[in-house]
């Protein structure tokens, strides 16, 4: 597959000022969301979280996309750090404990892959057109003959639409923080890294 045809499959036109600009002229904001251990909460706390999430969803009058990224965690650097502590410490008790901990982690990683999960909320703002609902056949056809015409935004348009997107982000931010979650808007380099990992899962 040529470079040009590969680029056609990537819908991104530009990434700047923390905003993803798609080729169809619409824009996106990416928020990284922390996790909570729902199972460790009491029944009352679980009910409160679910009710809070329901209120949050009811307060949003625009589309949202929730993305969960799951990747195998490379713990080699972490294990080397522990082994370094074992070798450098003079405290025998600490050395024994660190050695046992390192052995435990190695055994655990040999039994199953240790996965890292990250959670994101994608906030869209459609400028020129609403998203179209397509069937499976049409979606497959679009893979082989993608639309390559990019719609350019003027600086004035970009700033205006970005402000409206940020207003949506404030609603999402307030709703999720109210649930006890930490919310962070990704910057340009973080977004580029995220998309690179999505398109290159083996790296």
Buried b (16+ CB within 10 A) or exposed e, 67-94: eeeeeeeebeeeeeebeebbeeeeeeee
Mean pLDDT of 140-157: 62
Of 23, 32, 7, 5, nearest to 194 by C-alpha is 32
- Per-residue model confidence as pLDDT tens digits over 61-94: 899 999 888 877 777 888 888 888 888 888 888 8
pLDDT at position 144: 46
Question: DSSP E strands: which ranges in the chain?
Answer: 12-16, 19-22, 27-33, 65-72, 115-125, 183-185
pLDDT-based confidence at residue 95 (cuts at 50, 70, 90): confident
Give CA–CA dist 118/26, Å, rounded. Answer: 25
Give CA–CA dist 167/173, Å, rounded. Answer: 10
Do residues 159 and 125 lie in contact, with contact meaning Cβ atoms separated by under 8 Å? no
Reported residue count of the chain is 203
- Per-residue model confidence as pLDDT tens digits over 16-65: 999 999 888 889 999 999 988 888 889 999 999 999 999 999 989 899 99
| pLDDT at residue 142 greater than cutoff 50 | no
| pLDDT at residue 161 greater than cutoff 50 | yes
Do residues 24 and 128 lie in contact, with contact meaning Cβ atoms separated by under 8 Å? yes
List, in sequence order, every residue forming a beta bridge with 166; answer none if it has no partner: none
Mean pLDDT of 92-111: 83
List, in sequence order, every residue forming a beta bridge with 117; answer none if it has no partner: 70
């Amino acid at each position: 597959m040529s470079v040009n045809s590969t680029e056609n499959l990537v819908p991104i036109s530009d990434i700047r000022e923390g905003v993803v600009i798609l080729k169809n002229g619409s824009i996106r904001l990416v928020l990284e969301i922390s996790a909570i251990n729902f199972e460790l909460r009491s029944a009352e706390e679980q009910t409160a979280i679910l009710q809070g999430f329901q209120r949050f969803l009811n307060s949003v009058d625009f589309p949202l996309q929730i993305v969960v990224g799951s990747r195998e965690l490379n713990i080699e650097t972490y294990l080397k750090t522990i082994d370094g502590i074992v070798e450098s410490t003079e405290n025998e008790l600490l050395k024994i404990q660190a050695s046992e901990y390192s052995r435990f982690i190695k055994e655990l990683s040999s039994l199953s892959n240790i996965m890292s999960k990250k959670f994101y909320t994608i906030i869209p703002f459609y400028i020129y057109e609403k998203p179209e609902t397509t069937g499976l056949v049409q979606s497959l056809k679009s893979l082989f003959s993608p639309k390559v015409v990019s719609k350019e935004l003027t600086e004035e348009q970009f700033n205006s639409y970005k402000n409206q997107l940020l207003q949506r982000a404030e609603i999402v931010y307030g709703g999720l923080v109210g649930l006890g979650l930490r919310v962070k808007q990704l910057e340009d380099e973080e977004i580029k890294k995220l998309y690179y990992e999505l398109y290159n899962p083996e790296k």
